[in-house]
Chains A and B, each alone.
Chain A
Amino acid sequence: MPMPNNTTAASTRKQKGAGAKSTKAASRKKDEEEGVEMVDGLDEAPVKPKDQLELSEAELKEEITRILTANNPFAPQNIVRYSFKERSYKSTSVVDQMAVHFVLEGNLLHQDSDEARRLRAKEGLFEETTVVDAEAEPEEEEPETPATPVEDGGDMEETGEDDRPDSVASKTDKKEPKLTNQFNFSERASQTLNNSLRDRCCQTEPPPRVTFSDTANQWKTYDMYEMETEKQEKNKDKQNATPKKENDNSKKKMMLIETQSDTITKVLKPAKILERMCNQNICDDIAQDFKYFEDVSDEFRDQKGTLLPLWKFHYEKAKLSVTALCWNKKYQDLFAVGMGSYDFSKQGHGMLVFYSLKNSAFPEYIYPTSSGILCLDIHELHSHLVAVGFYDGCVAVYNLKEEGQEPVYKSTAKTGKHTDPVWQVQWQNDDMDNNHNFYSVSSDGRVVSWTLVKNELVFTDIIRLSLNGAVSEGPEAVHEPIVVGGTSFDFHKHIDYLFLVGTEVGQIYKCSKAYSTQFLETYEAHSMAVDAVKWNHFHPKVFISCSSDWTIKIWDHTINSPMFTFDLNSAVGDFAWSPYSSTVFAAVTTDRTVHVFDLSVNKDQALCQQTVVSKKKTKLTHIDFNPVYPIIIVGDDQSCVTSLKLSPNLRRTPKGKKRQELPKGPETEVAKMEQLLRLLREPDPTTV
């Protein structure tokens, strides 16, 4: 460019300025002007291009200010960044204003870096060849060898390796660490011998396994606790009773035997239950009658009653007659039957059999005896003790809880057994030593008291029966007293020492336990043997006697003659007071009839006279009322026991005035009887 134009151009350029803010069009214009000026340089008017911006004169003279800044015009001015902290877009205030115009990468190395050192080492090799040292020059052609022998002194090692300058440098300076990079490495590997593998295993037998499953219930826990307490108690007992080794041995033997026969004997109880259930099914209607049937037609029968036959208990193996009947007071469905024979000529064995109403097919307990049984009694409190009197004069006590068939106690000739058949036995209250005792009466004229002392029966004669009253010493003792056999007796329910004895000749003696020689009173009762005499359950003064002379007589023990007499047209075998009423009693006769009387209803006639057995030759021998249920059992001489239900008419309770039911109790019964007696005494002192 020509020099003089430069200055003017420079001034205009100054006007423009580097990076000045002006419109492009304006700058272009100046350029054009400048260009024109430069081209022409001859004071000619500037030539306007065709697309030049047309401005007015004023606008042309306008002074436009331009500011020179250091800002990069191409840098963005409004960069916005998202700020996570404020969760919005924020404009960055500071923007990079650097404008890069030219970049040239250099290849300088720091003199102390590894690369530099290596390079220098390399170059040092060539430098030594061209080094100022003239002395070294000729030697440089064989530089390696003299250099190294200075250090090593071994020619053969150096054979122009590249390592030599390195080694020189390294030895001169320091030992350099080996530099590893991805281009300068070597991989080394070596294969070792693999040991051969051997597999060893052994298999054992799996332990035996049993699958067990159970449910843990509340009742199983309860059972376990019960077992534990039992065990503890047993241990305590064993500790207490250690000095009994003999018993232990016998127990062990017993245990062995038990375990052998355990399997089937355990089924005994369920078998018994099932037998009863089967019986109940078979005799279902009888059981229903027993429980629920009440004969409604009694209302139309005008105070007469009937007996409804229920179960029949028949033990075929015994061809004996029923000689004794007794209900168990504690288990009111259990009753005892004694079997023997009344026939003097045919005396054989006997049997003691227990039946339950729940099983009419088979007895619960069976005890065969050597001699016929004539009487029996069950203890009121200890209902497992049964006293039995035999035809041969013995008395025995059976314990139902014991396993054997033999009686627990038996009287023998030495221990005072009777010489004649024992007609009645009866338990008494325990004596002062708390021993059980019972009384027996026999045809040998003795009333004997037996006491169960440990393992023995101890007897005491209470009284001897004789015709003329008491046995008395003195001048009248010339004539020997005629011993009279006793056939029945009964103890007063409330007065302990008072009892009645009926004899073979028909007399009844009122005796006391205290006086062994004298009778309190004698009643001329019957013409034949007194079969039974019984106190009334409620009224303290009344008793009944029955005899084979076909009569039943009711007495007040203060009066010597009977209050009532009933003629039954046939020999009376037995009778019984009812437990629920003081005026009701029943009797059996040999013509198979049961007579039931209620004195408060009908003083002269029986309320019910019914034949209960079918075969014409059977004789009814005994009767007894159940203490709770309204049934009676009747025994006959074909070893059959029939149970009958009493119809409502026979079970009347006394009704007070205005048809109100009087409260049941002994007092009312006593009052009822008393009323009767009064009636008798006033209008008719005696009835025959």
Chain B
Amino acid sequence: MAEVEETLRRIQSQKGVQGIVIVNSEGIPIKTTLDNSSTVQYAGLIHQLVMKARSTVRDIDPQNDLTFLRIRSKKNEIMIAPDKDYFLIVIQNPSD
């Protein structure tokens, strides 16, 4: 338990990280470092995307599974690591 907390703290202190959101399998955010409205927005939108991505990967080969998803945009990069019941979102500004 403490290990997870520490890992999250380390991620938060990395260069360029803007926020972390932990979302459960129903799309409800559990833990976040962003403000409420952004959190809800990120959780809802990304939840759908992750479901779609995972279903795509698994439809092609059911033995395969999604490991992580990276969305790089002009302003920042959204990284998503899904798990069976949760997924973690980190928004980072890659060092430029």
Do A and B pair up? The answer is: yes
Task: State the A residues within 8 Å of B (CB).
Answer: 215, 217-219, 221-223, 261, 263-275, 277-279, 281-282, 284, 361-362
Q: Determine which of B11, B58, B85 lies in contact with A274 in the assembled complex, contact meaning CB atoms within 8 Å.
A: B11
CA distance A217 to B14 in the complex (A): 39
Q: Are B92 and A275 in contact (CB under 8 A)?
A: no
Query: Which chain B positions have C-beta within 8 A of A223?
Result: 62
CB distance from B48 to the nearest CB of A (A): 13
Q: Are B16 and A281 in contact (CB under 8 A)?
A: yes
CA distance A273 to B68 in the complex (A): 8
Task: Confirm or deny: B67 has a beta carbon within 8 angstroms of a beta carbon on chain A.
Answer: yes
Query: Which chain B positions have C-beta within 8 A of A272?
Result: 7
CA distance A271 to B59 in the complex (A): 26
Contacts A217-B58, A266-B84, A281-B95 given; indicate if A274 touches B10 (C-beta within 8 A). Answer: no
Query: Which chain B positions have C-beta within 8 A of A273?
Result: 67-68, 81
Q: Are A282 and B10 in contact (CB under 8 A)?
A: no
Query: Which chain B positions have C-beta within 8 A of A270?
Result: 68, 81-83, 86-88
CB distance from B43 to the nearest CB of A (A): 14
Task: Confirm or deny: B55 has a beta carbon within 8 angstroms of a beta carbon on chain A.
Answer: yes
27 contacts between A and B (CB under 8 A): A217-B58, A217-B59, A218-B58, A219-B58, A222-B58, A263-B30, A264-B1, A264-B4, A266-B86, A270-B68, A270-B83, A270-B87, A271-B4, A271-B7, A271-B11, A273-B68, A274-B11, A274-B79, A274-B88, A275-B11, A277-B68, A278-B11, A278-B14, A279-B14, A281-B77, A281-B94, A282-B15
Contacts A267-B4, A268-B4 given; indicate if A277 touches B16 (C-beta within 8 A). Answer: no
Task: State the B residues within 8 Å of A (CB).
Answer: 1, 3-5, 7-8, 10-11, 14-17, 22, 30-31, 55, 58-59, 62-63, 67-68, 70, 77, 79, 81-88, 90, 92, 94-95
Query: Which chain A positions have C-beta within 8 A of B55?
Result: 215, 217, 219
CB distance from B3 to the nearest CB of A (A): 6
CA distance A277 to B3 in the complex (A): 18
Query: Which chain B positions have C-beta within 8 A of A267?
Result: 4, 22, 83, 86, 88
CA distance A362 to B9 in the complex (A): 12
Query: Which chain A positions have C-beta within 8 A of B94?
Result: 281-282, 284
Q: Are A274 and B59 in contact (CB under 8 A)?
A: no
Query: Which chain A positions have C-beta within 8 A of B86?
Result: 266-267, 270
Contacts A218-B59, A219-B62, A270-B86 given; indicate if A278 touches B4 (C-beta within 8 A). Answer: no
With contacts A265-B4, A270-B83, A275-B14 known, what are 14 further pairs, Cβ within 8 A? A215-B55, A218-B59, A219-B59, A261-B1, A267-B83, A268-B7, A270-B87, A274-B79, A274-B88, A275-B11, A277-B81, A277-B90, A281-B16, A361-B10
